[in-house]
A and B are shown apart, each in its own frame.
Chain A
Amino acid sequence: MKKKLNDYTPLSKILTVFFGALSLVWIIPIFEVINNSLKKNEFINLDPFALPSAESYVGFNNYLTGLTFGNYPFLKSASYSLLITVVSVVLILLFCSMSAWYIARVNSTISKVFYYLCLFSMIVPFQMVMFTLTFTADKLNLNTPYTIPIVYLGFGAGLAIFMFLGFVKGLPLEIEEAAAIDGCGPVRTFFNVVLPMLKPTLISVGILELMWVWNDYLLPYLVLDRTKYMTIPIHVQYLKGSYGTVDLGATMAVIMMSIIPIIIVYMFCQKHIIKGVAAGAVKG
């Protein structure tokens, strides 16, 4: 629909101004992080809201300190975070869409049991399994960034399969029949016929899982061998652990460096992210 200038009533102008003011509440906290990441440590404790002055301004020094701060290079945590997130999301998308298709098409006891287990797992809080999961993961060597995606696949399967199923059930069976008549086996049918039709759901599920794995703190904290591996949330919490004695400026810089990539991704994929969230909400 076309919006003409005179479509805007006086009320809508008031709303625009009101929301402009309200959105400051959302912007200021992030702004304060940027603000403090440019200041010398002593000045942050003095007054966190003061803008950098000639005295307190240190430019990008905090960022340089932040990269090697706390005996563990920030880039190492960031690369582990990236590795874990990418591999986990790919595993979840691939294997859960395959399972969902199987459950939708094959009417067997295994399918039903698996489906109800998935539904059930969605209401079980992580705290219920976290201690025992840690033991199991240690025993099976799933405590490295290279193997932890298997844990994510297992714990994330419930929601992902549920969302894929909702979509697969709506796909017309005739297309797959046609493929079968033309001599297409199940594997080719899935990868060449079904998977391309699943694209919108793949994006939605991918976004939700991405937001979950990238920001997850407790699972990697408990499962990973912490003497060797950290992810970004663990890194930030590790710095906070010694609050007051550590370099606050450098910590703010680390936080900023962990937010910037997310904001960039958000700016490019905003539409997909918002669609993914709206689609994921159907699960209620």
Chain B
Amino acid sequence: MAKNKKADSVNLVQRPIRKWAPLFILPTFAAFAIGFVWPFIQGIYLSFCNFNIPTDAKWVGLQNYAKVFKDAGFLNAFWNTAGFAVVSIILINVVAFFIAYALTQKMRGANLYRTVFFMPNLIGGVVLGYIWSMIFDGILKNYSTYLTAEPTYGFWGLVILVAWQQIGYMMIIYIAGLQAVPEDMLEAARIDGATGAQTLFRVIIPNVMPSITTCTFLTLTNSFKMFDQNMALTGGLPSVMENGAKINTTELLALNIYSTYNINKNYHGVAQAKAVIFFILVAVLAIAQQSATRSKEVQQ
């Protein structure tokens, strides 16, 4: 009986829509094919080629990939990115969680503070990089130095800038998670005489685990894909020469791929090979992180 009913509704709703497929999915699918599917396939193919433009591509096998693994600048960018990701994931999530926790307590001005902390997310990365390079240079001037004088300045400068920007974003997600913690659970903890710390670690944190999953996922992928802020703040400077190769010391992976492409046309294939490695890295991390945190979530 139930099965019949389902079949009826399928016929009633599904069949007429099917006829309208050209209207409903064709425009998006066509744009998706142009904007994603074709460039993706072509990108994989070209990573095995020497090319200036796609029509003059010559197959070279794994040569580009071999060059990537010998590229000191790429390895440097990889370690920069990994370090940057670890530091910013911890910093952003810990600070954002505690700001969210405090703002969901009874507190005057909570809405105003929420508004202020979120604001930087509305401003583009390039503009933010520009604003902060002015601020850092202004501060470092007092010590007779400047932002691109030392790699460490640029690294921590980027950490500060990105934390300043993303804390507000993650805070919003944590606030939504905290507000969804069931009130009766908190009350039960209170009645049982749980201390503030016990309530936080035993009741609240397990309940906001989905938000923690989301936020660590977002900060992880954001750090790996970081480009605008990196380019606008230091542009990879300062650069050093190592065994005859130029290394931009504060470059992250995304910027390294971009600048490799712009060296000259002999590097187009190498840059595309870097992009493929970068894609695999981001995809593996995203999937691994998802399954790792999901398994820690409360089963309800």
Whether chain B is bound by chain A comes out as yes
Is B107 an interface position by the 8 A CB rule? yes
Are B13 and A101 closer than 8 Å at their CB atoms? no
A interface residues, how many (CB within 8 angstroms): 104
Is A36 an interface position by the 8 A CB rule? yes
Is B132 an interface position by the 8 A CB rule? yes
- Closest CB in chain B relative to A94 CB, distance in Å: 9
- Closest CB in chain A relative to B238 CB, distance in Å: 15
Closest chain B residue, CB of each to CB of A222:
B258
Is B21 an interface position by the 8 A CB rule? yes
Q: Fill in one digit per residue for A128-162: 1 if any B CB lies within 8 Å of its CB, else 0.
A: 11111101110010100000001111110110010
Which of B13, B28, B123, B173 is A262 in contact with, Cβ under 8 Å?
B123
Is A20 an interface position by the 8 A CB rule? yes
- Closest CB in chain A relative to B45 CB, distance in Å: 9
Q: Is the interface of A mostly helix, strand, loop or mixed?
A: helix
Chain B residues lying within 8 Å of A214, measured Cβ to Cβ, are 124
Are A9 and B106 closer than 8 Å at their CB atoms? yes
**Interface hit among A71-79, A179-187, A198-206:** A179-187
Are A129 and B39 closer than 8 Å at their CB atoms? yes
Is A274 an interface position by the 8 A CB rule? yes
Are B31 and A95 closer than 8 Å at their CB atoms? yes
B interface residues, how many (CB within 8 angstroms): 102
Are A19 and B119 closer than 8 Å at their CB atoms? no
Given A151-B34, A154-B35, A173-B13, residue A29 in contact with residue B20 (CB < 8 A):
no
Closest chain A residue, CB of each to CB of B268:
A131
The B108-161 residues at the A interface (CB cut-off 8 A) are 108-109, 112-127, 130-132, 134-135, 137-138, 141
Are A187 and B20 closer than 8 Å at their CB atoms? yes
Chain B residues lying within 8 Å of A54, measured Cβ to Cβ, are none
The CA of A9 and the CA of B102, in the complex, are separated in Å by: 13
The CA of A106 and the CA of B137, in the complex, are separated in Å by: 58
- Closest CB in chain A relative to B241 CB, distance in Å: 23
Chain B residues lying within 8 Å of A110, measured Cβ to Cβ, are 21, 25
Is A126 an interface position by the 8 A CB rule? yes
Closest chain B residue, CB of each to CB of A1:
B106
Q: Besides the contacts A98-B27, A157-B32, A186-B24, what 8 more A-B pairs have beta carbons closer than 8 Å?
A: A16-B108, A32-B131, A105-B13, A127-B279, A133-B35, A161-B28, A173-B9, A214-B124
Is A259 an interface position by the 8 A CB rule? yes
Is B43 an interface position by the 8 A CB rule? yes
Are A12 and B108 closer than 8 Å at their CB atoms? yes
Is B78 an interface position by the 8 A CB rule? no
**Interface hit among B62-70, B185-193, B209-217:** B209-217
Are B279 and A106 closer than 8 Å at their CB atoms? no
Is B203 an interface position by the 8 A CB rule? no
Which of A27, A151, A190 is B35 in contact with, Cβ under 8 Å?
A151
The B160-176 residues at the A interface (CB cut-off 8 A) are 164, 168-169, 172-173, 175-176
Which of B32, B130, B253 is A117 in contact with, Cβ under 8 Å?
B32
